[in-house]
Structures are given as C-alpha cells and as structure tokens.
Amino acid sequence: MEAKEGLRTVVGLMSGTSMDGIDAALLRTDGRDRVEALDFLTIPYDDGFRTRLRGCLGKSDVSGGPVAEVERDLTDAHADAVRRLLDKAGVAAAEVELIGFHGHTIHHEPDRRLTCQIGDGARLAAATGIAVVNDLRSADVAAGGQGAPLVPLFHRALAHGLPRPLAVLNIGGVANVSWIGPEPVGGEAEVVACDTGPGNALIDDWMLRHGLGRFDAGGALAAAGRVDDAALAALMAHPYFGRPAPKSLDRDAFDPAPVAGLSPQDGAATLTAFTAASVASVVPHLPASPVHWLVCGGGRHNATLMAMLADRLGVPVLPADTVGWDGDALEAQAFGYLAVRSRLGLPLSLPATTGVPVPMPGGVFHPVG
Ligand SMILES: Nc1ncnc2c1ncn2[C@@H]1O[C@H](COP(=O)(O)OP(=O)(O)OP(=O)(O)O)[C@@H](O)[C@H]1O
Ligand SMILES: CC(=O)N[C@H]1[C@@H]2OC[C@@H](O2)[C@@H](O)[C@@H]1O[C@H](C)C(=O)O
C-alpha cells in the first residue's frame, strides 16, 4: 500500500457508452478532496473498430473468440492513448504512479449481478510500464449494488464551495446524475445518484440510421423538428422512471419503436425531449430539488437538449465548464481518482450512489511486471 497522504500523478481512461473513442486524463489527486487537472485528450475510434465494439455489446463471455480480440485491440489502443497523453503533457511514464482503466462496458445487468467491462489490466501495465487498476464495478455488483454510476464521489470532491443542493448531470450515451447536499462543517456532503435514462445514444443511433452522421451536431436537426407528444408519452411509460434511486442502465435499455414512423427532424426532436424528460423525472426521487444543474459529457454541446432541460428543470442548467471543470474530461479524471481510492482501500461507491449495502471499495490492481 502506498503512503496515505499526498498527491499522486495518475492517468484516468474512459471508453464510454457512446463509443466515440478513448478519453484520457492526466491529474494529480489524493483520492479524497484534492484534484488538480493537468491534461486531457480524446482518441476517436475509427468506424471499423466502432463496428467491432458494437458487435460485442450484450455479450458477457470474454474468453477466446472475437470479444477477446476486441479486448486486446481496445487495450492496445488505450496504451497508445496513454503514450500520446504523456507526450502532449511532456510527462515521463516513470512520473505516473497509476492508471485507472475503466475499459468498455459490453454488458450491464446488475439485477442479475452481472456487469462486464472489457480491458486487459495486466496487458496495459506491461505496455505502458505503469501500474493499473481496472474492473472497478465488479465488487459493487457482486455485493448487490448497481455498479454504476461511479463518478458521484468524484463530483463531490470537485464541488466544494458551490451552491447546494447541486446536481451534476453527465450526458454521455446514457445520462446519470449526482445530487450533492449541503456541505456540513468538517464532514462530507450527502450524495444520491442514479442513471436518469438515455443520454445521446438513441439520438446518435437515429442519426446513423438516417445516414445523417454520428450525432446531431448542436442539436440542429432536433431544433428543426416537433416533439411528438404521443411518442414521448410512450417512451416515458417505461417502468424505469418510476423506480427510486439508486438505479442504473445498460446502453440499449430503451426501445425507440415509438418514434420509428416519424420524420428525421421530428424523431430527433422527440428523442431529445425523451432525454430531457427522463432527467426531469428524477427530481421527485431526490432528497430536495437542486438549485442548479451542472452538465458535463458530450450532450452539453447539444443546444436543443440544453434548452429543453432548462425549460423542464426551471432552475439554471449550465455547462460544467462555467465553474472551471472540463466537461469532456470529467469521467476520465474520475477513473484516475477512483484508482487512487482503490489503492487506499477507500469506498468507490455508497449505498445512496449504487444501492450497495455498505460503502464499497473495489478495483483490481495490476503491478508492472
Ligand atoms: N457538438 C455536439 N453536438 C451535439 N452532440 C454532441 C456534440 N459533441 C458530442 N456530442 C454528443 O456527445 C456524445 C459523446 O459524449 P460522451 O463522450 O460524454 O459520452 P460517453 O463518455 O461515451 O458516454 P457515457 O458517459 O455514457 O459513458 C456523442 O456521441 C454525441 O452524441
Ligand atoms: C455500466 C456502465 O458502464 N455505466 C456507465 C454508463 O455511462 C453513463 C452511465 O451509464 C453511468 O452509469 C456509467 O458511467 C459513468 C462513468 C459512471 O459510472 O459514473
């Protein structure tokens, strides 16, 4: 075990459900309440690899065969991302203590105690010469938790001094919220979290299906359409939205059939409204209404979605960048932070963030050599 005090220089790596690429962040953190962001980059996947990755979704058997080949190539792409990040930052691998390696979720069914992130920790440690912590969700799921979301404790670490209650909303392929309560003197604020519903994944799939690109840039297509209220009501009838937090989702949990017959514009508008309405539907499940929302993840670049969120939530909804955070880097930074917590034996999740029975440490350590 490493020293209990002090900042460590670490890398965090995330391959998110939108399958856009690898986010790699360099930071210094004590795994508690100190975080200094140093650098960040994204390495996009090419279309061929994205198709292979998509082909792994829903599978949980990684041994041998095509999933094992994708896992190997995914790991090597992460090693390359680490090299490029350190080159960009002018930092030597020897100066980095640890990599937090999320891997890529190909299957997530916590109610059956199943979650699977592909990514070979030992191979990444050997390729980079830096120790790795991976498999950060399994311990939580094995103990009966949702295994997600895991970023809430990182959000709390960043949130000192901001107005409370605060909601930090990540809009990736799936969307998740961290509710952070008032800051007690000398104590830690209450955190409640869950996945709210779809983020961008259904919108991205819609754009691809209509040959209109990989995502709705700026929300322009949605802005040109009309929300179909009946289709939206059908989408919102899913039982997930009535369930209390904590709760989590797999990427493809929702069937977009209700929008199937709509024009490209109206479908985009309705799916964008679905994301906004599902975020708003979580508010009654929170301990108190947030006084403002900070939005991170790629969905904050979708102006139509941001406007729909502001409309439905009725309080300020701002990109997280407005308080000095890098809204693209946050998830990758979180996995560097969580890797340090893993080495310190600190919890990665709490009963109110994943439903795990007790505060839960986790992660698997892979030393170099
Ligand atoms: N300029 C833009 N306009 C609209 N949407 C955008 C823009 N840029 C990115 N996005 C959306 O953001 C998505 C990527 O977001 P992000 O990288 O946060 O997701 P992720 O980390 O892969 O997912 P998750 O958080 O679920 O793991 C893209 O797929 C796209 O839908
Ligand atoms: C199982 C899984 O990989 N879940 C992801 C996904 O993407 C967003 C949302 O669903 C969140 O629950 C989680 O990722 C973030 C990083 C988290 O664990 O906090």
Ligand 2 centroid to residue 218 C-alpha, Å: 23
Quote the longest CA-to-CA distance of the chain.
59
Does residue 315 register a pLDDT over 70?
A: yes
| 339 & 316 share domain | no
| 319 & 337 share domain | no
For residue 269, give both structure tokens: 């508008």
Q: What is the pTM of this model?
A: 0.97
Beta bridge partners of 217: none
Predicted ipTM? Answer: 0.98
105 lines ligand 2 (CB under 6 A): yes
CA distance 340 to 31: 5
Task: Give pLDDT tens digits for 27-44.
Answer: 999 999 999 999 999 999
| 217 & 315 share domain | yes
In a domain, 86, yes or no: yes
Ligand 2 centroid to residue 112 C-alpha, Å: 17
Residue 5: predicted pLDDT? 60
Name residues whose C-beta falls within 8 Å of residue 217's C-beta, 6 or more positions apart in sequence: 301
Task: Give pLDDT tens digits for 342-353.
Answer: 999 999 999 999
Cβ contact 206:231 at 8 Å: no
Residue 64: predicted pLDDT? 76
In a domain, 67, yes or no: yes
Domain CATH for 28? 3.30.420.40
Average predicted confidence (pLDDT) for the chain? 96
Cβ contact 73:80 at 8 Å: no
Ligand 2 centroid to residue 250 C-alpha, Å: 8
Domain hosting residue 167, numbered range: 152-323
Burial of 239 per CB tally in 10 Å (0-12, 13-18, 19+): exposed
Beta bridge partners of 294: 168, 318
Does residue 320 register a pLDDT over 80?
A: yes
In a domain, 3, yes or no: no
Q: Is the peptide bond before 165 cis (omega within 30 degrees of 0)?
A: yes
In a domain, 53, yes or no: yes
| 272 & 355 share domain | no
Residue 369: predicted pLDDT? 79
| 137 & 188 share domain | no
| 222 & 293 share domain | yes
In a domain, 1, yes or no: no
297 lines ligand 2 (CB under 6 A): no
E strand map for 20-131: 21-29, 35-44, 98-101, 104-109, 114-118
Does residue 60 register a pLDDT over 90?
A: no
pLDDT bin (cut points 50, 70, 90) of residue 3 is: very low
Closest-CA residue, ligand 2 atom 12, reads: 149
197 lines ligand 1 (CB under 6 A): no
Please report the atom of ligand 1 found closest to the CA of residue 19.
Answer: 22
| 181 & 294 share domain | yes
Per the structure, how many domains does the chain have?
Answer: 2
176 lines ligand 2 (CB under 6 A): yes
Q: Which ligand is nearest to the CA of 200?
A: 1
Task: Give pLDDT tens digits for 324-334.
Answer: 999 999 999 99
Q: What does DSSP say about strands 174-180 and 191-198: parallel, antiparallel, or unpaired? A: antiparallel
In a domain, 2, yes or no: no
Residue 91: predicted pLDDT? 98
Residue 96: predicted pLDDT? 98
